[in-house]
Amino acid sequence: MRRALLIAVPYLWLLALFLVPFLIVLKISLSDTALAIPPYLPTLDFSEGWAGIWGFLQQLDFENFTFLTQDELYWRAYLSSVQIALISTLLTLLVGYPIAYGMASAPEHWRATLMMLVILPFWTSFLIRVYSWMGILSNEGLLNQLLQGLGLIDQPLTILNTNTAVYIGIVYTYLPFMILPIYAALEKMDDALLEAAEDLGCSRLTAFWLVTVPLSRQGIIAGCFLVFIPALGEFVIPSLLGGSGTLMIGKVLWEEFFNNRDWPVASAVAVILLLILIIPIILFQRNEQKQREREG
Amino acid sequence: MRRFTWFNATSLTLGFAFLYLPMVILVIYSFNASKLVTVWAGFSTRWYGELLGNQAFLDAAWVTLKVAVASSSLATVLGTMAAYVLVRSGRFAGRTLFSGMIYAPLVMPEVITGLSLLLLFIGIGLDRGVLTIILAHTTFAMCYVSVVVSSRLVSFDRSLEEAALDLGCTPFTAFRLVTLPIIAPAVVSGWLLAFTLSLDDLVIASFTAGPSATTLPIKIFSAVRLGVSPEINALSTIMIAIVTVGVITASLISKRASLAQQRDAQAAARAQ
């Protein structure tokens, strides 16, 4: 009896506030836009019994999805979201790997402090971290002041409100997600392997490519997924650092909902975003499982 | 011992400079006398004064705090229950769906979570306001709590619980006297995580907050959209200071607790 209650409370909570809302999105994505409150048709009417439900089902269609495939804006938004997320993930890897490597080779008594320094920004507001770059990257910003002061450029560089600023923002905010799994993989590595490689005639660089990188592969894969998945649906970074030309699907969904008040299209955008996300999520889980099996 | 070379030292220095410089600059410029954020015009605490006189910001801060305390506490209770069910309840009908619902919100884009909850609240005719934000935050935060707590539950020795049951405890008393003290650090960090997630959330709050309730991130976002403002720098500085002090205190406390635990374990080993 107690056990049933223990299971029921969180179960019902998640059903009511996670699964049901999601089914509503699915349903509205199949409805039509209407000038009404709520602004879509059909609405489910139970008073007519089964005939009402049947009539309701017959009115659902894939019109919004057809609309999304025909309007070029949405195609471009999905493609450019994937592109921006991919490029930023690679950049995060390039920035994050040397840091994780440096941490793993630091003297043992420093490592706890270094770990905390990596995690600390994660507790600070995401919004504030994104905002902090606005003052640096703007035309009169500190970066341009510095570069002009050094005489490297004559005209200020336009970085804010471009895709470059979005890349910087994503790298900056998601860097801890990349560093931590790579560091965890590197820290477990046995140094004797590197010594063995060097004894057998590898240069340090070759030893790094042939031994260190393959051994940290799991960390690299996990880090890349942990950055790619949230970056794909990102809203705050493209809307603060990106410009009007920055197309990301999270932003499109937001505007469709709040500016155009087109709920059915916004819901259809959400459903497709989720379909795109399912592939990397499944790959990520499979990767994690493989690793657990190898270790367990 | 791997070599700590110049290369490593440089990459660490550059890496941490990248992580911390933007925030350091933000803090420095919050003390700038000029309204123009990028031109230094001398030291001043003017913006802090203006911030404290800005009733809209103070109201939003109060709403945010209420939402964060309520939702993180609710999420901790529900998340701990969910973790216990996942780790201890064995098989039951719908278990796969349950664990799916725990993990899915962790990877769900915030825009989708926000949109779906908003459509639910409108569908059932619930007026949007503080209550709806609390419900929304509780739902996604409980999943984070349950992941943190279940990792602790997995690693602990189940025979301790069984011993308590053998000695005549009811399952609930056994949980209260044996399990809870052992998983307490995870429950506390789960609460802290839920609290910061709620404090920090813009997207889900924007969808689920009606016109009657504005949280601090919503307020900051609408101000920042128009450009950099020194008042926001001052507000950010205060928030960064609170978080830094909080995290350092928490880590010192947990370090002391783990040292004490080590001492107890050593004393127990010697006593045997």
Give me the interface pTM, i.e. the ipTM: 0.87
Q: Cβ neighbours of residue A90 under 8 Å, at least 6 residues apart?
A: none
Q: Looking at residue A47, what is its pLDDT?
A: 60
Does B197 lie in the same domain as B138? Answer: yes
CB contact under 8 A, B78 and A13: yes
Residue B85 lies in a domain: yes
User: What does the mean pLDDT of chain A come to?
Assistant: 86
Task: Say yes or no: A39 contacts chain B, CB-CB below 8 A.
Answer: no
CB contact under 8 A, B38 and A142: yes
Q: Looking at residue B225, what is its pLDDT?
A: 85
- Out of A21, A129, A140, closest to residue B120 by CB: A21
Does B200 lie in the same domain as B75? Answer: yes
| Closest C-alpha among B85, B124, B117 to residue B102 | B85
**B59-101 confidence digits (pLDDT tens):** 999 999 999 999 999 999 999 999 999 888 778 888 889 988 9
Residue B264 lies in a domain: yes
CB contact under 8 A, B15 and A95: yes
Residue B7 lies in a domain: no
Task: Say yes or no: B124 contacts chain A, CB-CB below 8 A.
Answer: no
Cβ-based contacts of B236 with chain A (< 8 Å): 125, 128, 131-132
| Lookup result for tokens 């419900």 | B135
Choose the weakest-confidence range: A55-59, A183-187, B8-12, B198-202. A55-59
Give the max Cα distance, chain A: 82
Task: Name the more confident of A18 and B261.
Answer: A18
Q: Looking at residue B3, what is its pLDDT?
A: 64
Question: Residue B174: which CATH number?
Answer: 1.10.3720.10
Q: Looking at residue B156, what is its pLDDT?
A: 79
Does B207 lie in the same domain as B267? Answer: no
CB contact under 8 A, A142 and B240: no
Does B137 lie in the same domain as B266? Answer: no
A12, amino acid identity: L
Distance from CA of B264 to the nearest CA of A (A): 23
Tokens of B203: 């997207």
Q: Looking at residue A38, what is its pLDDT?
A: 67
Cβ-based contacts of B6 with chain A (< 8 Å): none
Residue B246 lies in a domain: yes
Task: Say yes or no: A282 contacts chain B, CB-CB below 8 A.
Answer: no
Mean pLDDT of A169-178: 96
Task: Say yes or no: A230 contacts chain B, CB-CB below 8 A.
Answer: yes
Q: Looking at residue B78, what is its pLDDT?
A: 97
Could you give phi then psi for residue B55, rounded to 5 degrees? Answer: -60, -35
By the 8 A CB rule, do A267 and A28 touch? yes
Q: Looking at residue B1, what is its pLDDT?
A: 44
Is the model's pLDDT at A181 over the cut of 90?
yes
Cβ-based contacts of A124 with chain B (< 8 Å): 23, 239-240, 243-244
Distance from CA of A212 to the nearest CA of B (A): 12
Residue A228 lies in a domain: yes
Count the domains in chain B. 2
User: Which of B223, B244, B263 corresponds to the end of one domain?
Assistant: B223
What region does B94 belong to: left with phi over 0, alpha with psi -120 to 50, or beta?
left
Residue B37 lies in a domain: yes
Residue A43 lies in a domain: no
Is the model's pLDDT at A33 over the cut of 80?
no
Q: Looking at residue A43, what is its pLDDT?
A: 64
Does B164 lie in the same domain as B121? Answer: yes
Q: Looking at residue B244, what is its pLDDT?
A: 87
User: Which of B223, B239, B257 corresponds to the end of one domain?
Assistant: B223
Mean pLDDT of B8-34: 91
| Angstrom distance (rounded) from CA A246 to CA A80 | 8
Q: Which residue is closest to B122 within chain A, CA to CA?
A: A38
Banded model confidence at residue B37, pLDDT cuts 50, 70, 90: low
Residue A8 lies in a domain: no
Residue A183 lies in a domain: yes
Q: Domain range spanning residue B92?
A: 62-223
Distance from CA of A267 to the nearest CA of B (A): 8
HEC letters along chain B: CCCCCHHHHHHHHHHHHHHHHHHHHHHHHCCECCCCCCCCCCECCHHHHHHHCCHHHHHHHHHHHHHHHHHHHHHHHHHHHHHHHHHHCCCCCCHHHHHHHHHHHHHCCHHHHHHHHHHHHHHCCCCCCHHHHHHHHHHHHHHHHHHHHHHHHHHCCHHHHHHHHHCCCCHHHHHHHHHHHHHHHHHHHHHHHHHHHHHHCCHHHHHHCCCCCCCHHHHHHHHHCCCCCHHHHHHHHHHHHHHHHHHHHHHHHHHHHHHHHHHHHHHHHHHC
Q: Which of residues 192-221 of A touch B (CB under 8 A)?
A: 194
Q: Looking at residue A291, what is its pLDDT?
A: 80
CB contact under 8 A, B224 and A134: yes
Task: Name the more confident of A58 and A154.
Answer: A154
By the 8 A CB rule, do B209 and B134 touch? no
Tokens of A111: 């490592």
Task: Say yes or no: B111 contacts chain A, CB-CB below 8 A.
Answer: yes
Is the model's pLDDT at A45 over the cut of 60?
no
Count the domains in chain A. 1
Establish, for the pair of chains A and B, how many residue pairs have beta carbons separated by less than 8 Å.
224
Distance from CA of B267 to the nearest CA of A (A): 25
Distance from CA of B245 to the nearest CA of A (A): 11
Choose the weakest-confidence range: A31-40, B110-119, B197-206, B233-242. A31-40
Question: Residue A92: which CATH number?
Answer: 1.10.3720.10
Task: Say yes or no: A105 contacts chain B, CB-CB below 8 A.
Answer: yes
Is the model's pLDDT at A182 over the cut of 70?
yes
- Out of B85, B122, B142, closest to residue A38 by CB: B122
Banded model confidence at residue B140, pLDDT cuts 50, 70, 90: very high
Residue A9 lies in a domain: no
Q: Which of residues 90-109 of B touch A (CB under 8 A)?
A: 92, 94, 97-98, 101-102, 104-105, 107-109
**B170-197 confidence digits (pLDDT tens):** 888 888 888 888 899 899 989 999 999 9
Residue B268 lies in a domain: yes
Mean pLDDT of A267-294: 86
Long-range contact set of residues B129-133: C-beta below 8 Å, sequence gap at least 24: B129/B209, B129/B210, B129/B212, B129/B213, B130/B63, B130/B66, B130/B67, B130/B212, B130/B213, B132/B208, B132/B209, B132/B210, B133/B67, B133/B71, B133/B204, B133/B205, B133/B208, B133/B209, B133/B213, B133/B215
Does B266 lie in the same domain as B131? Answer: no
Task: Say yes or no: A142 contacts chain B, CB-CB below 8 A.
Answer: yes
Interface test with B, best of A126, A127, A138, A278 (most B CBs within 10 A): A127
Does B115 lie in the same domain as B80? Answer: yes
Task: Say yes or no: B199 contacts chain A, CB-CB below 8 A.
Answer: yes
Residue A7 lies in a domain: no
Does B185 lie in the same domain as B161? Answer: yes
Cβ-based contacts of B82 with chain A (< 8 Å): 10, 14
Q: Looking at residue A166, what is its pLDDT?
A: 96
Is the model's pLDDT at B38 over the cut of 80?
no
Mean pLDDT of B154-180: 86
Q: Domain range spanning residue A97?
A: 64-295
Q: Which of residues 146-165 of A touch B (CB under 8 A)?
A: none
Task: Say yes or no: B270 contacts chain A, CB-CB below 8 A.
Answer: no
Interface test with A, best of B116, B122, B126 (most A CBs within 10 A): B116
Residue A28 lies in a domain: no
Residue A269 lies in a domain: yes
Task: Say yes or no: B27 contacts chain A, CB-CB below 8 A.
Answer: no
Task: From residue A181, give the alpha-carbon distance in Å to each of A187, A236, B231.
Answer: 10, 25, 37
